[in-house]
Amino acid sequence: MQREFPEAPLVGVGAIIIEGDRVVLVKRAHPPLQAEWSIPGGVLEVGELVREAAVREAREETGLVVETGELLGVFDRVLRNPEKRVQYHYVLIDFLCRRVAGELAAAGDAAEVRWFTREDLPGLGLAEDTLEVIRKGFGKVEGSS
């Protein structure tokens, strides 16, 4: 699977892991978004269901075992190089997730992993759609309490 300059969009999954007033974010170890904070997630594998992929990616990147809940959104992520050629193209499917086991530990594509409060988020330089889906996740958690 060619991630850079792909011939077709790739399907990615994201795990919005919320616990109380905190959300888990990972600092990416590789492009795209290298050294930036992001939602734990990655590319869907052939034969894998999207919810299974979200659980797998959360475990691989954060050390947490999660269960998926509500679908929070589907987003386009198209990144172009300086010549305006599509360098990365993902369709991202994000799920609200709840930790069921495990301790936070960065692994896989994550250089670092941390819990952040809602107040921490504006200073992290997250993409607007990333902030939007995290806020939506907080709203769903608060609405179910």
Residue 132 burial class via C-beta count within 10 angstroms: exposed 0-12, middle 13-18, buried 19 and up: middle
Residue pointed to by tokens 């979200």:
54
| Pair type for strands 65-80 and 10-19 | unpaired
Q: Phi/psi of residue 142, each to 5°?
A: -65, -35
Q: Indicate if 52 belongs to the active site.
A: no
d(CA 76, CA 4): 16
Q: Which of 4, 19, 45, 112 is catalytic?
A: 112
DSSP 44: P
CB of 129 closer than 8 Å to CB of 42: no
Active-site residue list = 112
